[in-house]
Chains A and B, each alone.
Chain A
Amino acid sequence: MMDAATAVRELSYAQAIQEAMALAMEADERVFLMGEDIGVYGGAFQVTGDLVERFGPERVMDTPISELGGAGVAVGAAVTGLRPIFEFQFSDFAALAMEQIVNQAAKMRYMLGGAVSVPVVMRFPAGSGTGAAAQHSQSLEAWLGHVPGLKVIQPATPHDAKGMLLAAIEDPDPVMIFEHKLLYKMKGAVPEGRYTVPIGKAEVRRQGRDLTIVATSIMVHKSLEAAQMLAAEGIDVEVIDLRTVRPMDRETVIASVCKTSRLMCVYEAVKTLGIGAEVSAMVAESEAFDFLDAPIVRLGGAETPIPYNPDLEKATVPQVGDIVAAARALVTGAR
């Protein structure tokens, strides 16, 4: 029987994040939250919830509608020794704060010869599927993943959301967390108490022989569903949850492709110049190249903004049926 410290309950992804923030604030008075409407309102997606009642407005700080200003305060607070967690209402608004993220947070340690570190955490609700249209639905993790000095993660489960956020808070460098909005209500097993899930480690979610799918965020779940359906056809798919965009876990991906000899990347972001390109190149440049039995396939988002119309919105990003069809074609050679 498990003791209280390791008891596992079902929590939603949003509750898991809230629990991680509360645990970190209880354990370390340097940890505090900043963001628009995260106080009394409880956050755009109710992730902070009632934390303002537990920790007060000094540690659950509502910021004005200026992502650039808020991010700047968070970066400054981190440099001076605090542990801020800055919430964006939508990841799309990273565009407004790029100066602080890309030109300041990512470069300060380097430019000052290691004299400072920037232990800031930024949380980005991301992705489509909520009918929020083109300016509130993007998947921009590759933007930030391109920048040395940042770490970029995409937890896919409530368990990882809590463990990776706790790892991010104790990390001395800036960590950007992309949380798919459709995952917030998803429930899963989450241990009580403190634990961390390492940044930079992918996870094999399903073992398989015929094909490696490297998926990110919500596409992990869609890929697992597709793998289930393909299993009925005798196609055995291995599903890797990439979890971290930067630094990327080469070993896990390459070992898997050496085993299965086929690779498909499934991600919601616009297909070109994205994570699929990076994973594909990483494999093509590695010893796994010699094991490939078929061309690598990328299944990503359409080359369009995310449309408002729900049917069009759905057609913009890979769905389970698309994954099944693409995997079947790849494995059977019926391209």
Chain B
Amino acid sequence: MNERDPIRRFEAELVEFGIVDRAGIDAIRDSVRAEIAEAIAFAKESPAPEIANLERYVYTEPA
């Protein structure tokens, strides 16, 4: 992350304009990290997809 990182710059602007404080920014960053970690854990714990299901969800299955 350098000075031109748009996320960092946006955070700085939000703080500068008093829309959110540093603690608020950190809370958002923590929640995003947690969500990603949860998704990675979900992916690792899920069974590998069945090749037999390759064509599933290309189209909506008739009810």
- Are B58's CB and A149's CB within 8 A? yes
- Are B60's CB and A173's CB within 8 A? yes
What separation, in Å, do the CA atoms of A151 and B56 have in the docked complex?
A: 16
* Complex: chain A residue closest to B63, CB-CB: A172
B59 interfacial by beta-carbon distance below 8 Å: yes
Contacts of A113 in B (CB 8 A): 57
Query: C-beta contact mask, B29-63 vs A, less than 8 Å → 1, else 0?
Result: 00000000000000000000000000011111100
**Interface size range of chain B in the complex:** under 10
Contacts of B61 in A (CB 8 A): 114
What separation, in Å, do the CA atoms of A148 and B58 have in the docked complex?
A: 7
- Are A173's CB and B59's CB within 8 A? yes
* Complex: chain B residue closest to A172, CB-CB: B60
Q: List 7 A-B contacts (CB under 8 A).
A: A109-B58, A109-B59, A109-B60, A112-B57, A113-B57, A114-B60, A173-B60
Q: Lowest 5 CB-CB distances: which A-B pairs, in order?
A: A172-B60, A114-B57, A117-B60, A110-B57, A173-B59
Q: Which residues of B are at the interface with A, using a C-beta cutoff of 8 A?
A: 56-61
- Supplied contacts A114-B56, A173-B60, 16 more A-B pairs, CB within 8 Å: A109-B57, A109-B59, A109-B60, A110-B57, A110-B58, A112-B57, A114-B57, A114-B60, A114-B61, A117-B60, A148-B58, A149-B58, A149-B59, A151-B59, A172-B60, A173-B59
